[in-house]
Amino acid sequence: MGGILGAILVSIIVMLPWRLNTAKKPDEVILEQRGDSRPSIQGHRPQILAEKNAVDMVGLAKVSERYSRRSHIMIAQVNYKVFFTNLRAMTAVAAAVFAMIFMLFYEPVLTRYLSTTRKWVSEDTVGLLLAVGALTYAFSSPLVGYLCTITKRRYITCFSFINCAIALFLLGPSHTLNFPEKLGFSIAGIAYLGFSSGFINTPLLPEIISAVQEKENIEASPFLTDKAAGLYGAAYGLGNCLAPLIGGLIVSAYGEEEPIGFQMCCDIMAFCSLGFLIVYFCLSIVPAYYEDKRRAATRQNKLEKDLLPGGADANNLTLEFENSRQ
């Protein structure tokens, strides 16, 4: 074993220097060899290598300065004031709060209602029913992302409050509408409520960004999206905080031991969903509709002026035409 290791060591000592001496150096070219003269070896000139690898530091400094100045301007433009003064954006924020309340108000009282008050299921299986709503929410969210490419986000959100009200009437089952008091209605209500909440929540963050972007005429920069995400997260947390408090207070007001307490809580939430539907329609859908018409008329007038002699060139006309089609 020692002999083998010794032979390997000797081979490394002998072969490695020979390999290094015979290897060609990079970027070296053998030009010619005449008679007994030694070959002429020439590489890239130092000046050429320096020019090849040089960096335009002056140009980079100018670009960095312009980017820094532009970033400061965008930071100054994007603050929370542009969100709080935007009616459409704040309506979307309020919709996020209500969506979380509608989805989570029943969590502190549903277990007692199904297992103790109604005695429909045991306490061990209530968790499976709660998981149904989360599962349908996870299924509906990607579907909404696809639908937003077909129709406008605010229309999806507005329509979803109707679905949310239907789900809440089923969850009770509704005492006001005299629905049959069966477990199947409550399970269907939980599933449909999770599905409807996904349709409400998913388009709201892009809607907030779009509302501010269109009104302030600024691009969707990281400064805008970060603040929009922070505001949306605050609305999400506020809804999570208020939901169990509201649900517990309403059920306690009607009596925790009586089935009508949970049923009336669901009915009140359903009517609140329909009420907020009207608010969202008046404060978000209607103003955005007239704003779109005004913007389209402005683009049309500009295109007509550009078609007159001495108007814009062909490239600008093509760009305006493409924008008018969006």
23-68, pLDDT tens digit by residue?
Answer: 444 444 444 444 444 444 444 455 554 454 454 555 544 545 454 4
Mean pLDDT score, 208-236: 88
**Least trusted range by pLDDT, from 57-61, 247-251, 281-285, 295-299:** 57-61
Comparing 28 with 132, the larger pLDDT belongs to 132
- Residue 30 confidence (pLDDT): 43
DSSP 8-state class, residue 151: S
Q: Going from the N-terminus, what domains does the chain have, and what CATH number goes with each?
A: 69-289 (1.20.1250.20)
**Local confidence band at 191 (pLDDT 50, 70, 90 cut-offs):** very high
Residue with tokens 């299921």: 121
Comparing 231 with 320, the larger pLDDT belongs to 231
- Residue 8 confidence (pLDDT): 54
- Residue 292 confidence (pLDDT): 82
Spatial separation of the C-alpha atoms in residues 132 and 129, rounded to whole Å: 5
E-strand ranges in 140-197 read: none
Question: Residue 203 has which token pair?
Answer: 């388009």
- Residue 73 confidence (pLDDT): 53
Amino acid at 214: E
Whole-number percent of the chain with pLDDT over 70: 70
Mean pLDDT of the chain: 78
What SS3 class is residue 26?
coil
- Residue 166 confidence (pLDDT): 95
Phi, psi of 192 (to 5 degrees): -70, -30
DSSP 8-state class, residue 24: P
Report the largest interatomic distance among the alpha carbons of the chain, rounded to a whole angstrom: 114
DSSP 8-state class, residue 180: -
Q: Confirm if 192 and 136 have CB atoms less than 8 A apart.
A: yes
DSSP 8-state class, residue 30: E
Q: Confirm if 136 and 191 have CB atoms less than 8 A apart.
A: yes
- CA distance readout (Å), 167 to 74, 90, 193, 294, 297: 43, 25, 5, 37, 40
- Residue 189 confidence (pLDDT): 93
Name the CA radius of gyration of the chain, rounded: 34
**Local confidence band at 177 (pLDDT 50, 70, 90 cut-offs):** very high
- CA distance readout (Å), 101 to 41, 104, 254, 278: 80, 5, 19, 17
